Amino acid sequence: MTKQRTLTFKKLIRYFVTAVTGKETEFTSGSIRKAIFMLSIPMILEMLMESIFAMVDIAYVSQVSVNAVATIGLTESVITLVYAIAIGLSMAATAIVARRIGAKDVKGAKEAAVQAILLGVVVAIGVGVIGFSYAKEILGLMGAEPDLIAEGYQYTQLLIGGNITILLLFLINAIFRGAGDASIAMWTLVLSNGLNIILDPIFIFGWGPIPEYGVTGAAIATNIGRGTAVLFQLAILFFGWSRIKIGFNDLVLRTKILWNLVKVSSGGIAQFLIGTSSWVFLMRIMSEFGSEVLAGYTIAIRVILFTLMPSWGMSNAAATLVGQNLGANQADRAEVSVWKTGRYNAYFMLAVSLIYLLFATSIIGWFSDTPTVVANGSLCLRIIAVGYIFYAYGMVVTQAFNGAGDTKTPTKINFIAFWLFQLPFAYIAAITLEMGALGVFIAITAAEVLLAVIAVVWFRKGHWKKVQV
């Protein structure tokens, strides 16, 4: 028995090394469990790096002031609208590239990747100009108090103004994932977030010759870290270290491919826009209860993202498996991959939810010792953790739709769960019934549970298998 366990452990280590080095690129044949492992490991590590940075970032900024933490919360609730565009384009890029790779059409995958990048650059420049010019007004619309705007508007200016680094980082990594090069996407985020973690304290607190920038320093560090990673991504694409190699002669506008990308991404953008705009309105409701309550909520959401990001990693693996297997005309294999990934994700999320339920106060206490901040943050953490198992299946199944190129179905699900249910529920509970922040926390959990149930029911109908991209 001991010998068998040793062999199994060695096999896992060998698989792990293969996964992070990107040596396994065939996912349309062989063991589904192995395919899930090979794609999930680098994607989990990729998302884990992103969530570790989010945790470290909020830990540094919380040492500046409560207003600084609230500034990040308000700014990120707005910049998620940029994420909506980035992730919508990313969904389309992953679906189309994965489908072409599954069909052995590398040229088609490359052409789709180029059009996605060109479109992303144009969008990012437009958003950046608006965000940089109207940072104070944006914070004001979100309900920020005058002292918060004065302290934090430059953070908002730099983060939204430099959104091209965020958008391209998302988008090019989605192209790598669609091609099955999940390990390259992982190493890109290792570089990006590694630099962010190193540069954060330097620019926030002012080390050596660098002046103290406070919360603005966090935006400077983020732009440098992500900008460097984007240059690394472009080097990989142009020098051919992934399955997709781009030459300067490929940088031409192809209207037919671009239009197909826009059609597929429009559903993804609408889908994520519905979800993220609901978060903007929730943040606006939370701002009614003061900076300390808002800071507690912001810290709790960052902690939650620490575990949701790895879970998203598994969900992204499901999207790639669905896209590539549909491209190879293996719809049944695609479906089995989704259910298995969902089960593994549920095991992970169950373990995390128990930790949050038992140790919420201690966890929030690591980031702040303000009683109101800790009380509201820990309450948020516990209530949202109750629905974690539902989130596990909801995320995987939703990404499976997107991987198939069926971005319209998740859009409808998001509209029902977030706009028709979550927002009215949150407002009535928090404001009308005077439950305060508790009403918002309950609305978040209830909406995510509803989303998971609807997604599973619609996925079982199988219409996603017939979508053409």
Burial of 353 (0-12, 13-18, 19+ CB in 10 A): buried
pLDDT, tens digit, for every residue of 395-425? 999 999 988 888 889 989 999 999 999 999 9
**Token output for 287:** 């701002």
pLDDT recorded at residue 61: 78
DSSP-derived 3-state class of residue 63? coil
pLDDT, tens digit, for every residue of 133-152? 888 887 787 677 777 777 77
Q: Which residue has the tokens 């909506």?
A: 84
| Residue 466: CA count within 13 A, CB half-sphere | 3
For the chain, give the percent of residues with pLDDT over 90.
21
**Cα dist from 269 to 46, 83, 99, 115, 262, whole Å:** 22, 9, 20, 16, 10
pLDDT recorded at residue 425: 93
Q: Which bin fits 406, alpha (ψ -120 to 50), beta or left (φ > 0)?
A: beta
Burial of 108 (0-12, 13-18, 19+ CB in 10 A): middle
pLDDT, tens digit, for every residue of 427-442? 999 888 889 889 999 9
pLDDT, tens digit, for every residue of 250-286? 888 888 888 888 888 887 788 877 877 787 788 888 8
The single-letter DSSP state of residue 433 is S
For the chain, give the percent of residues with pLDDT over 70.
93
CA-CA distance, 158 to 155, in Å (whole number)?
5
Query: Among the residues of 287-330, which ranges form H helices?
Result: 291-327
In the predicted structure, residue 86 carries a pLDDT above the cut 60: yes
Give me the DSSP letters along 385-421.
Answer: HTTHHHHHHHHHHHHHHHHTT--HHHHHHHIIIIIII
Give me the DSSP letters along 215-278.
Answer: HHHHHHHHHHHHHHHHHHHHHHHHHT-SS----GGG-S--HHHHHHHHHHHHHHHHHHHHHHHH
- C-alpha torsion sign, points 62, 66, 68, 69: positive
Closest CA to 178 of 239, 114, 102: 102
**Token output for 44:** 């989990």
Extract long-range pairs of 28-36: CB within 8 Å, 24+ residues apart: 28/102, 28/324, 28/325, 28/327, 28/328, 28/330, 28/333, 32/321, 32/333, 32/336, 32/337, 32/340, 33/340, 35/321, 35/337, 36/314, 36/317, 36/318, 36/321, 36/337, 36/340, 36/341, 36/344
CB 368 within 8 A of CB 374: yes
The pTM for the full model equals 0.73
Q: How far does CA 468 lie from the centroid of its chain?
A: 25
pLDDT, tens digit, for every residue of 201-254? 899 888 878 888 888 888 898 889 999 999 999 999 888 777 788 888 888 888
Residue type, 242: S
**Cα dist from 374 to 145, 291, 294, 370, 378, whole Å:** 21, 13, 11, 6, 6
pLDDT recorded at residue 5: 55
Closest CA to 407 of 275, 298, 300: 275
**Token output for 176:** 């790598």
Closest CA to 289 of 129, 87, 431, 78: 431
